[in-house]
Structure 1
């Protein structure tokens, strides 16, 4: 999987890396049990600091999407992905609220906003269908 990092972006690199790995998991480009490069290898491949990669990996570990083993390295959660439980839904609502507010301020109506969300959701799922065996 090709990690999408924009060194000129306002989004911190660790967040971009986190988002890229999450999209890989969501699209099934990264399957449960798949290995990710070591912190050192990923940092070298991307040309970023090891602490940046480590921060992204630690957040993904805390969220339950990866495991970090001394012997196996970094692995996509092989058992079960974290559920969409109440704390997650609250967090999701908190993240979406300012995006929806800005969209409304910029003149997007509900239909336009939902169409964008639906397109993105379907685009990510379509990538996953390409990777199915």
Structure 2
């Protein structure tokens, strides 16, 4: 599994790791039942503290993307992924607000924003 993290980013490293794994699932690069690298292994590969990777994995577990099993390690949730319920939609709305606000301030038209959203969706949507 290839993960790229930006050590200069304002986004915490554990969040970058979790988001990269979710992106891998969305793209179909990571599938249900597939194991993720051990905390120690991924930490060494990325050159980060193992507690950072552990925090990312626990965030993914909390959100329902993975299961953590002492014998099998961390595996992509084989039963079902979390649903896009009202709480999820509200969180996404709050995350989108600053992005859309910046686009408006820069003069981006609604149609161009929707085109960009559609483009990103198509890039990420697993076939």
- TM-score with structure 2 setting the length: 0.95
Aligned to 2:12: 12
RMSD: 1.0
CA distance in 1, matches of 2:82, 2:12: 24
Matches within 5 A, 1:1-133: 1-125=1-125, 128-129=126-127
Give how far 1:9 is off.
2.1
Cα separation, 2, equivalents of 1:50 and 1:121: 32
- Offset at 1:8? 2.4
Deviation at 1:97, TM superposition (A): 1.4
Name the SS for the 2:67 alignment partner: strand
- Whole-Å Cα distance in 2 between the matches of residues 86 and 9 of structure 1? 30
Q: Which runs of 4+ in 1 moved over 3 A?
A: none
Quote the Cα distance in structure 1 between the aligned partners of 2:7 and 2:97. 27
Unmatched tracts of structure 1, length 5 or more: none
Shift of 1:54: 0.8
Number of residue-to-residue matches in the alignment: 127
What SS does the aligned partner of 1:29 have?
Answer: coil
Look up the SS of the partner of 2:2 in the other structure. coil
Q: Summarize deviations over 1:33-66 as a string: whole Å, max 9, x none.
A: 1000111111011110001101111111100001
* TM-score, length basis structure 1: 0.91
